[in-house]
Amino acid sequence: MKIIMLGAPGAGKGTQAQMIAGQYHIPHVSTGDIFRANIKNGTELGMEAKKYMDQGLLVPDELTVKILLDRVAEEDCKDGYLLDGFPRTIPQAEVLDKALAELGDAIDYAINVDVPDENIVKRMSGRRACLSCGSTYHMEHIPPKKEGVCDKCGNDLVLRDDDKPETVLNRLEVYHKQTQPLIQFYEEKGVLKTVDGTKPMKEVFDSIVEILEK
Ligand code: AMP
């Protein structure tokens, strides 16, 4: 099963992505996590990506597409995967489509987690992330067991630079301009499913599972 998660930054798609990937035992592939791991390790790719990420801008397609195609070519992705944060532009979606078509394959579901802009900025300021293992939390909705500490790996939780309010507004603008057109793109391919992301986390999860099991 090959699934794409769509939705504005802060719509909760990362959390749903972790849960869905866990439920179906498929790798959770997040381009944001790959970039953050590269930043942490001080790689050239990381340094280049950081310039864009810190401003809430998208990393250029050339860089992003390559790391994604390399990642999904790995052994653990051969029976399926869930993409979180990719594609974010029509050209990225077209490259992925073409690469899959060459293998006689295609995306099975594009799940759009729909949340109005008004809710987004409020949500993002409560977000906390573990820069070591990529887990995400929310101070109100998904608090860690111990404040400021990752449940999974015990490292510190932080408000990511790109979740700070001024950056969030930029990211929303970028989302509407560059990423939202993907909704129509996948609708035309007949694989788009929209869920109401304003509902409690568990309800959103259940509605995604219902879609995948139909
Ligand atoms: P995320 O963790 O998915 O919210 O991604 C954090 C940041 O990484 C984004 O705001 C972008 O700067 C960058 N990024 C992640 N995925 C992509 C992508 N598919 N295309 C371009 N930039 C990306």
- Ligand 1 centroid to Cα of residue 214, in Å, is 31
Looking at residue 46, what is its pLDDT?
Answer: 96
- Ligand 1 centroid to Cα of residue 31, in Å, is 6
> Atom 11, ligand 1: which residue's CA is nearest?
58
Chain center to CA of 99:
20
Q: What residues does 3 pair with on adjacent strands?
A: 82, 109
Atom of ligand 1 minimally distant from the CA of 88? 19
Query: Which residues are marked as active site?
Result: 13, 88, 127, 160, 171
Task: Identify the structural domains of the chain with CATH numbers, from first to last.
Answer: 2-26+79-116+175-212 (3.40.50.300)
Buried b vs exposed e over 52-74: b needs ≥16 C-beta within 10 Å?
bbeebbbbebebbbebbeebbee
> Atom 5, ligand 1: which residue's CA is nearest?
32
pTM comes to 0.87
Give dist(CA 55, CA 50) in Å, integer: 9
C-beta 186 within 6 A of ligand 1: no
Residue 195: which H helix or E strand, with range?
strand 192-196
Contact 183/195 with Cβ under 8 angstroms? Answer: no
Per-residue pLDDT of the chain (214 residues; tens, 9 = 90+): 999 999 998 898 999 999 999 999 999 999 999 999 999 999 999 999 999 998 889 999 999 999 999 999 999 999 999 999 999 999 999 999 999 999 999 999 999 999 998 889 888 889 999 989 989 899 988 999 999 999 999 999 999 888 888 888 889 999 999 999 999 999 999 999 999 999 999 999 999 999 999 8
> Atom 2, ligand 1: which residue's CA is nearest?
32
